[in-house]
Amino acid sequence: MRFSVVNPLAIIGRVFIAALAEVGNLSQFAANAVSHIIRPPFYWRLTLQQMWLIGYNSLPVVGLTALFTGAALAQQIFVGGSRFNAESVVPGVVVIAIVRELGPVLGGLMVAGRVSSAMAAELGTMRVTEQIDALTTLSTDPIKYLVVPRLIAAVATLPLLVLIANIIGVLGGFLIGTERLGLNAGTYLKVTTDFLEQADVISSLVKAAVFGFIIALMGSYHGYKSSGGAQGVGKATTNAVVSAFIMILLANLIITVIVFGSVG
């Protein structure tokens, strides 16, 4: 009886302590990376290269996701609103849902799936092949050289990506609403602009910047800390994507509650 009670508690305790240790290591890694952002040297060429890889190369998948989501959302809202003779709410609900939630969240998730995995795989490969150790030998700080450009690039490009995604998502709703659902184009645009507020756009861009930081941090952290050869790199890649997804959804909830929690 003693072992049947103590052993499960010991397992729970080990898992809890390991989770706390992981949070501590991640926090220390993030603080170290952020502190290097404002200290020279600055690798602008690497930063611009990462902006291209993260931002421009992610634009097709983010744009298509936003377009299809906006169109499907308009269709679903129209069907639901028709049950209460409220088809006119389609433009307002679409723009609020896209700008406040779906644009930044889906954009962040799409970029996380593409970028976090790539960062973790690249840095993980560098770790297991001792290229990161070689940088240290050459008196080059690996955090400064490898992590900081990715953080800056992700935080700078995600708001632009999400802004484009918002526009494309609203356009998708407009196209399905006017071409298939029979809504008047002028009325649709007027309702869209009337419902959209400055706070909606600001919260969307703030979310995007936070998501960009999370994406780069998770990808860099798991890749930088990977070990165990090819199997370790694969595990780091999986952990980077999963942790980025969870952190994005959690951050979205926190920001939404802070910005819109008092709105009735």
Q: What is the pLDDT of residues 164-216, one digit of tens each?
A: 999 999 999 999 988 888 888 888 899 888 888 888 999 999 999 999 999 99
The DSSP call for residue 88 is G
**Rounded to the nearest 10 degrees, what angle do helices 90-97 and 185-195 cross at?**
50
Q: What is the pLDDT of residues 77-122, one digit of tens each?
A: 888 877 777 777 888 899 999 999 999 999 999 999 999 999 999 9
pLDDT at 1: 44
CB 176 within 8 A of CB 133: no
Q: What is the pLDDT of residues 15-49, one digit of tens each?
A: 778 778 878 888 888 888 888 888 888 889 999 99
The predicted model scores a pTM of 0.89
Tokens at 96, concatenated: 């609020």
Q: How much is the average pLDDT of 49-77?
A: 93
Which string of DSSP letters, residue by residue, matches 33-72?
HHHHHTSS---HHHHHHHHHHHTGGGHHHHHHHHHHHHHH
Does the pLDDT value for residue 155 go beyond 50? Answer: yes
pLDDT at 264: 46
Does the pLDDT value for residue 70 go beyond 50? Answer: yes
- The helix/strand/coil state of 90 is helix
pLDDT at 130: 85
Q: How much is the average pLDDT of 122-136?
A: 88
- The helix/strand/coil state of 7 is helix
What is the residue type of 247? M
Q: Is residue 159 reached through a cis peptide bond, with omega within 30 degrees of 0 on the bond before it?
A: no
Categorize the per-residue pLDDT at 262 as very low, low, confident or very high, splitting at 50, 70 and 90: low
CB 158 within 8 A of CB 212: yes
What is the distance between the alpha carbons of residues 173 and 262, in angstroms, rounded to a whole number? 28
pLDDT at 249: 95
* Residue 18, C-beta contacts closer than 8 angstroms, at least 6 positions apart: none
pLDDT at 80: 84
The CA–CA distances, whole Å, from 94 to 2, 66, 124, 223 equal 59, 12, 41, 38
- CA end-to-end span of the chain: 54
pLDDT at 4: 54
- The helix/strand/coil state of 15 is helix
What is the distance between the alpha carbons of residues 42 and 256, in angstroms, rounded to a whole number? 34
Categorize the per-residue pLDDT at 6 as very low, low, confident or very high, splitting at 50, 70 and 90: low
Give the number of residues written for the chain: 264
